[in-house]
Amino acid sequence: MAGGEARIVRDGAAFRAGPWLGPPPAGGWREALAVFASDDPAAPPMLGVHARDVDDVVFRPRFAPAPQVRLRAVFQPADGPPVTAWFGGVPAPERAPSTRVVLLTPSADVWPENLLRLYLTFSAPMRLGEAWPHIRMLDAAGSAMGGMFVEIDQELWDPQGRRLTVLFDPARIKRGLVDNINEGPPLVVGARCTLEIDAAWRDAKGARLAEPFRREVTVGPPLRAALDPADWRLTPPAGPDQPLTVDFPHPLDAALALRAFAVRRGQAEIDCRATLARDETRLLLTPEHGWRAGRYSLAADPVLEDIAGNRIGRPFDIDVRAHGRPEAHGAELPFEL
Amino acid sequence: MAQSGDTTTLERRSESGVQLKSASALAFAPGGVLLVGDGLGGRVYAYETGDTTRHGDSDVQIEDLTGKIAALLGTTSDQIRVPDLAVNPDSGAVYLAVARGAGADAEHLILKAEPSGRITELDLDATPHTIVALVDQPDAEKVDRRGNALRTDTITDLGYVDGKVVVAGLSNEEFASTLRAIPYPFTASTKGAAIEIWHGAHGQYETNAPIRTFISYEFDGKPEILASYTCTPLVRIAVDALTPGAKVMGTTIAELGNMNRPLDMIAYRKDGQDFILMANSNRGVMKVHADGLGEYGPITHKIAATHGVPYDTIEGLQGVRRLDKLTDTTALAMVATGEALNLTTIALP
């Protein structure tokens, strides 16, 4: 593009303007070529790197501009009027909503009064940073109940942005705190309420949810006891490829239950697939390579919690006056085939 | 790269390829060292910015911050998040943690806003830095065998306190807290091991509770942490107690109203008196009268909604999401006004 009339072209990811024949501008190449991604006159030009290529000034943006953004490139030759060129501005096609809530745990339709957290799993990655206006608990009359959740800016997502952890406000769950005394627990025994996710929540590609999500629940009594492995029932597998079944008296935290259990044979850990059933009161552990006759053990990690945050040997909020300060611990349950 | 037991510390000068997996919390250590908390990546970065000179006026005013950042990064405002900011006390420049992209695959970068309003990017590769890996993370491989590794750590706050980088975290699975106190400068033997932080409710009920935000605060000349849990407003924790593997119980010294959580805090002195300015989730901005804060005993009994340290609510300040001290008499506030996010300089009340 040497010589001739001043012009700006898009060259792959870069913008190329010319001709520039003299020494570099006093204030750097950004004085010669700037690309703007906003109509706001106060907005700065895009970040990027300038270079000279023979008689051209080349600007490579730090990030590839979004296609729907209209770009205004301004070239100011050393001697002559500025040249402006427009690029991009291709409207993003309207996306048909397809993302939906595919899983809510706890799965049961009775939730304990001191339920500590929910997991909401979506069919596709979601937009981060805008969860709270779209999640609410409704009372029996359909009115939104405020102050339910820990609405932190840093939403607690999994690495893919598909599963959101929603914590009920622990200040209202934990006994003895001001909010627990004055406001009561977020959920009250006997109440019927509904978790509602509205469809205006957008996925990572900008589309709304395909449909709202609702789960009606009844609030049951609180779970205040530590987990006790003596209450768990192991059913040995019916065949070499069948799962080991473990039944629990109350639902376990769905995320922790899937990673807190291991099956061992001697010191060796057996590769198992873990699944939950019966509203997270049943764990199924299926070996990748079948069972052999012999002695095994089921090991539970101390991180295991039920849906109210109770651990093995230590409840979520312990009355230290009555029970001291017991430690949460793991457990090992033998079984034989 | 040096390895020591369960910790890895990298020392790197100008190697390329820093990839922040997240940047949810920023703070400064002395000498223009920017601390970046990357919870998803399980790391804390310390950047020696060399930005240690103050140039005149320190007032920062940026209207429509997300719009300006979107323009810089060639995208639309709805693709920009600004999880945290920190003012460099040496230069008065504002450093912003920025995510470009709507979803979990967003790119994370650090921008620097100067008092002139000019915004530039901190070159994460070219800026000398050290890194510490946070230990006590679950074994990702082991989790993977059970399907997907879904557990993440989020750093909710970090700060430099008495020679240590203190990091508060929250997991998306277990409720237990993960506070860490990591000696700075980071060395090959630096450990970022977790400390259990407990919270007692008025002498009776105890839980292993996460910390949401904190500041360094001196009690009788000794630095402590003044912190807010996810479940109660104001506790103090001795820095000496923060050793790997320790179990630490915070002391509750104030209740600040029902259903209210501090989002950010700064300590300052005005007219010979000590104050703490606190941005809240539910009750606007509070000016806490901190004179004699050390004399407030622990709250060990059931009480009304507010108790302990006195405070005023600053009526003129609405929508404040983040605060940092700009000068001895001013603070920087990130303020949400409708859809827009503005950076504005306020006089310390």
A182-209: per-residue pLDDT in tens?
Answer: 677 778 899 999 999 999 999 999 999 9
Mean local confidence (pLDDT), B296-302: 63
- In angstroms, what CA-CA distances link B324 with A23, A153, A246, B345? 43, 17, 51, 10
Distance from CA of A325 to the nearest CA of B (A): 9
Name the residue with higher pLDDT: A165 or B284.
Answer: A165
Residue A126 predicted with pLDDT over 60: yes
Flag whether A265 is in a domain.
yes
Name the residue with higher pLDDT: B253 or A233.
Answer: A233
- For residue A96, give the nearest of A209, A197, A198 by alpha carbon: A209
Same domain? A263 vs A286: yes
Same domain? A206 vs A107: yes
Show the domain range for A54. Answer: 7-88
Contacts of A138 (CB under 8 A, 6+ apart): A144, A145, A193, A194, A195, A196
Question: How is chain B split into domains, by residue range?
Answer: 193-264+280-313
How far apart are alpha carbons B126 and B122 in whole angstroms?
9
- The answer to whether the Cβ–Cβ distance between B258 and A273 falls below 8 Å is no
Tell me, what's the pLDDT at B231? 59
- The answer to whether the Cβ–Cβ distance between A170 and B73 falls below 8 Å is no
Residue A323 predicted with pLDDT over 90: no
Tell me, what's the pLDDT at B43? 92
Same domain? A325 vs A302: yes
Flag whether A95 is in a domain.
no
Mean local confidence (pLDDT), A207-215: 97
For residue B71, which residues of chain A lie inside 8 Å, CB to CB? 36-38, 40, 43-46
Which of A128, A180, A256 faces B173 most closely, judged by CB atoms?
A256
DSSP state of A202: B
Classify strands B194-201 and B247-256 as parallel, antiparallel or unpaired. Answer: parallel
Mean local confidence (pLDDT), A72-97: 93
Residue A181's H or E segment, with its range, is helix A178-183
- For residue B261, give the nearest of B289, B231, B288 by alpha carbon: B231
pLDDT band at residue B8 using 50, 70 and 90 as cut-offs: very low
Same domain? A111 vs A183: yes
DSSP state of A254: H
Residue A244 predicted with pLDDT over 90: yes
For residue A317, which residues of chain B lie inside 8 Å, CB to CB? 201, 205-207
Tell me, what's the pLDDT at B4? 32
Provide the 10 A C-beta neighbour count for residue B343.
22
pLDDT band at residue B2 using 50, 70 and 90 as cut-offs: very low
DSSP letters, A124-156, are S-B-SS--GGGEEEE-TTSPEEPS-B---SS-E
Mean local confidence (pLDDT), A143-157: 89
- The answer to whether the Cβ–Cβ distance between A159 and B200 falls below 8 Å is no
Tell me, what's the pLDDT at B259? 63
Which stretch of A38-52, A84-98, B71-85, B166-180 has the lowest confidence by average pLDDT?
B166-180
Contacts of A131 (CB under 8 A, 6+ apart): A155, A164, A166, A201
Q: What is the pLDDT of residues B75-112, one digit of tens each?
A: 999 999 999 999 999 999 999 999 999 999 999 999 99
B165 in Cβ contact with B192 (< 8 Å): no
pLDDT band at residue B203 using 50, 70 and 90 as cut-offs: low
Same domain? A29 vs A78: yes
Residue B55 predicted with pLDDT over 70: yes
Mean local confidence (pLDDT), A239-253: 97
Tell me, what's the pLDDT at B269? 95
Chain A residue with minimum CA distance to B107: A63
Flag whether A1 is in a domain.
no
Residue B69 predicted with pLDDT over 80: yes
Tokens of A332: 């090992």
DSSP state of B73: T
Tell me, what's the pLDDT at B307? 59
Tell me, what's the pLDDT at A215? 98
State the ipTM, two decimals: 0.91
Mean local confidence (pLDDT), B209-235: 81
Tell me, what's the pLDDT at B12? 41
Which stretch of A156-170, A264-278, B182-196 has the lowest confidence by average pLDDT?
B182-196
Count of alpha carbons within 13 Å of A220, Cβ hemisphere only?
Answer: 14
Provide the 10 A C-beta neighbour count for residue B259.
17
Which of A161, A178, A320 faces B204 most closely, judged by CB atoms?
A320
Name the residue with higher pLDDT: B141 or A99.
Answer: A99
A111 in Cβ contact with B87 (< 8 Å): no
Residue B192 predicted with pLDDT over 90: no
- The answer to whether the Cβ–Cβ distance between A156 and B154 falls below 8 Å is yes
* Mean of all residue pLDDT scores within chain A: 92
Residue B298 predicted with pLDDT over 70: no
Flag whether A183 is in a domain.
yes
How far apart are alpha carbons B193 and B212 in whole angstroms?
18
Count of alpha carbons within 13 Å of B36, Cβ hemisphere only?
Answer: 29
Which of B100, B212, B305 faces A178 most closely, judged by CB atoms?
B305
Name the residue with higher pLDDT: A71 or B141.
Answer: A71
* Adjacency order of strands within the sheet including A14-18: A7-11, A14-18, A56-61, A48-53
Which stretch of A172-176, B282-286, B327-331 has the lowest confidence by average pLDDT?
A172-176
How far apart are alpha carbons A256 and A311 in whole angstroms?
11
- Name the residue type at position B256: L
Residue A255 predicted with pLDDT over 90: yes
Flag whether A94 is in a domain.
no
How far apart are alpha carbons A218 and A196 in whole angstroms?
14
Same domain? A202 vs A242: no
Q: How many domains is chain A built from?
A: 3
Tell me, what's the pLDDT at B302? 55
Prior bond of A185 cis (ω within 30°): no
Classify strands A56-61 and A70-75 as parallel, antiparallel or unpaired. Answer: unpaired
Same domain? A236 vs A315: yes
Count of alpha carbons within 13 Å of A264, Cβ hemisphere only?
Answer: 14
How far apart are alpha carbons B296 and B312 in whole angstroms?
17
For residue B204, which residues of chain A lie inside 8 Å, CB to CB? 175-176, 319-321
Classify strands B2-4 and B222-229 as parallel, antiparallel or unpaired. Answer: unpaired
Q: What is the pLDDT of residues A217-241, one digit of tens each?
A: 999 999 999 999 999 999 999 999 9
- By percentage, how much of chain A surpasses pLDDT 90? 80
Flag whether A93 is in a domain.
no
Residue B202 predicted with pLDDT over 60: no
Residue B6 predicted with pLDDT over 60: no
- Of A57, A88, A119, which residue is a domain's last? A88
Tell me, what's the pLDDT at B207? 67
- Of A220, A244, A268, which residue is a domain's last? A220
pLDDT band at residue B205 using 50, 70 and 90 as cut-offs: low
Residue B231 φ/ψ region, left for φ over 0, alpha for ψ in the -120 to 50 degree band, beta for the rest = alpha
